[in-house]
Structure 1
């Protein structure tokens, strides 16, 4: 509407500049003098009638060109302000779209498809509808990540420049970016500094501080976590997924020689292996992982029947959600939901997954999570929020 008014003022100005004096006089009389015929003729100042008489006189003697310039100037300023406002609105809309769509970020995920940590990241990206490319890494040679000093997956590259390591850091930093109105990814990543340490076996490992925290303002935190203790609950179960649930996967999918062979058949089909490499991976890998799974069972103090530990863990998770919530996040999944779903999802198609679905109470929650990620339901939440 303001643009139309500005264009009208400019047209009137051109008309007054170009028209003969008599026509200018009539036009100005129409624009200014006829107000009194249909409404208030209040003069702002003194001598309203005298003022109009002098105005018309000036128009007749050539002052119309001055008035035309005034109209042109007013119209030009109006157009400038309108265009300025339009540009600002477009920039604002672009910024909102940037936040909703992943910020126009160019995301590349280096992964093993059957890795539970990689599956966690994919669950997050899919749920929020963030477009990304996948580079499947050969787990033997790992040529695809030879450029990186960090030799694990997942690795997420942002705009081919910024490297994010560790699944929980990737998820926390991206979630912070989607929520925060002011922070860029380059601003956020230093909030999760690397920390070198040695594990219980004396091996040097890389850990990341704050990896379950979102780096938000108090107002943003209150908006995302309106109920008391929901943030602590989310962080607790995200860490539980990393520290406990993940370690139940290998002992269960490699529980017997038959299950180990079936698991490696799936890994070879879904992974990036050559023909010969795939053959050896399937049979030698299955035998090796069957042995390793027994060591993992002892290391993590699992029961002789590791299925019982899996069933208990999954039922503990469902009990924590409770009967009155669809997800731990309430009506929508939170980061704990996405983490647990991502970990469990890697067993799909295997005997361990079928047994879990048949012998626990996780089925309905799992199917809801499946729909939420497939339908990118987190994208619509972000759109409505902004």
Structure 2
């Protein structure tokens, strides 16, 4: 409607300014049409005829001045129509942004490497979230959930995401697709329950390292097919190998075990009694559990060497020509490895790793990327 008005007013103006001999069909009909367009709905057919007649008489008395006025009005109308169209388009695009109104609540243990992975992803992408620190003894904060592990991410208060890699894959899928709801994304990651070698029921997600994208979206995110394979390989490596090096290294000696539990109690959610019990009894228990983990995963007597080798293997995979495994920006593998390693900060194992491997430059750059939310755009 606005565009039609603008076009008609422009035609009227030019006809007024033309010499009389060049006006095909007469000006009266055009002006009458303009009047009818603006008044038909307001005053009805009879009123429209009266107003058009008056406007025709005015034109005959001062045509050129009226033509200028009509042209000016038409130009202003065109400007307003274009302005409204642009504003409406911007509003529609903003409403499609997945971060608008997305409410995220993360149930976690701060010192858990899997929880740290999720925080690394959320921080890097600039997704605001609320943290609920779970008491690791009673776990009352997640008593409402049949899934009794952390991390748990609640989306908009009613969609529950479990497992750190599923959380990351589903959120990334949501951010890329933009048109799909989180509920629909979650259907692509069905739970599969089975019994492990000890007869305990476990929940697994076979496709948790996949992003559920169209062919076009996959091509845009991974121009080279090998990039996607590499990312998935190292995300799996972080879960299946790197994370199992953390406990044997931070509980390597009784002194390190005490320092680690002092950090856990300080950063976690414990009562005074629970904190005291966890620090001394828990440290002693984890010292012996770390020994069992070393045997289970076939680690060397000096578990630091396994940590150093793993970290240097990661740096070698990135290579000298890339800042991150994702190139100029971190990919999901970068965020996973960074999240796992970050839980050792402030402990002896972390300092030894930084001093005896080549990971420092990459790690500090990852810190900066997460702190500045560089993945927002």
Smaller-chain TM-score bracket: 0.7 to 0.9
Relative to the length of structure 1, the TM-score reads 0.81
Are the structure 2 counterparts of residues 33 and 88 from structure 1 closer, same or farther at C-alpha, using a change threshold of 3 Å? closer
Are the structure 2 counterparts of residues 282 and 6 from structure 1 closer, same or farther at C-alpha, using a change threshold of 3 Å? farther
Q: Please point out which of 360, 364, 371 is paired with 1:363.
A: 360
Work out whether 1:303 is the aligned partner of 2:300: yes
Q: CA deviation at 1:140?
A: 0.3
| CA RMSD, Structure 1 to Structure 2 (Å) | 3.3
Equivalent residue, structure 2, for 1:34: 17
Q: CA deviation at 1:94?
A: 2.0
Equivalent residue, structure 1, for 2:227: 230
Are the structure 2 counterparts of residues 30 and 138 from structure 1 closer, same or farther at C-alpha, using a change threshold of 3 Å? closer
Equivalent residue, structure 2, for 1:66: 52
Q: Deviations over 1:38-72 (max 9, x none)?
A: xxx865xxxx2x5337778999xx95623789x9x
Are the structure 2 counterparts of residues 8 and 121 from structure 1 closer, same or farther at C-alpha, using a change threshold of 3 Å? same
Query: SS where residue 187 of structure 2 aligns?
Result: helix
For 1:224 and 1:63, how far apart are their aligned partners in 2?
62
Q: Deviations over 1:160-185 (max 9, x none)?
A: 00000000000000001111032111
Query: SS where residue 229 of structure 1 aligns?
Result: helix
Are the structure 2 counterparts of residues 57 and 288 from structure 1 closer, same or farther at C-alpha, using a change threshold of 3 Å? closer
Q: Which runs of 5+ in 2 are unaligned?
A: 36-47, 56-69
CA contact (8 A) 2:32 2:53 kept: no
Q: Please point out which of 52, 55, 60 is paired with 2:27.
A: 52
Query: SS where residue 26 of structure 2 aligns?
Result: helix
Work out whether 1:253 is the aligned partner of 2:253: no
Equivalent residue, structure 2, for 1:94: 94
Equivalent residue, structure 2, for 1:110: 107
Are the structure 2 counterparts of residues 63 and 320 from structure 1 closer, same or farther at C-alpha, using a change threshold of 3 Å? same
Equivalent residue, structure 1, for 2:66: none
Are the structure 2 counterparts of residues 67 and 205 from structure 1 closer, same or farther at C-alpha, using a change threshold of 3 Å? farther
CA contact (8 A) 1:108 1:156 kept: yes
What does residue range 1-386 of structure 1 map to in structure 2 within 5 Å? 32-36=15-19, 48=24, 51-52=26-27, 63=49, 65-66=51-52, 85=85, 88-96=88-96, 98-99=97-98, 102-379=99-376, 382=377
Query: SS where residue 191 of structure 1 aligns?
Result: coil
CA contact (8 A) 1:260 1:290 kept: yes
Query: SS where residue 205 of structure 1 aligns?
Result: strand
Equivalent residue, structure 2, for 1:20: none
Query: SS where residue 283 of structure 2 aligns?
Result: helix
Q: Relative to structure 2, which stretch is displaced further, 200-209 or 163-172?
A: 200-209
For 2:83 and 2:335, how far apart are their aligned partners in 1?
44
Are the structure 2 counterparts of residues 33 and 248 from structure 1 closer, same or farther at C-alpha, using a change threshold of 3 Å? same
CA contact (8 A) 1:238 1:336 kept: yes
Q: Deviations over 1:190-224 (max 9, x none)?
A: 10000001222221110013100001011110000
For 2:129 and 2:30, how far apart are their aligned partners in 1?
67
Question: Number of paired residues?
Answer: 346
For 1:291 and 1:352, how far apart are their aligned partners in 2?
17
CA contact (8 A) 1:7 1:79 kept: no
Query: SS where residue 285 of structure 2 aligns?
Result: helix
Q: Which runs of 5+ in 1 are unaligned?
A: 13-27
Q: CA deviation at 1:95?
A: 2.8
Query: SS where residue 327 of structure 1 aligns?
Result: coil
CA contact (8 A) 1:6 1:79 kept: no
Q: Deviations over 1:255-298 (max 9, x none)?
A: 00000000000000000011111011100110010010011011
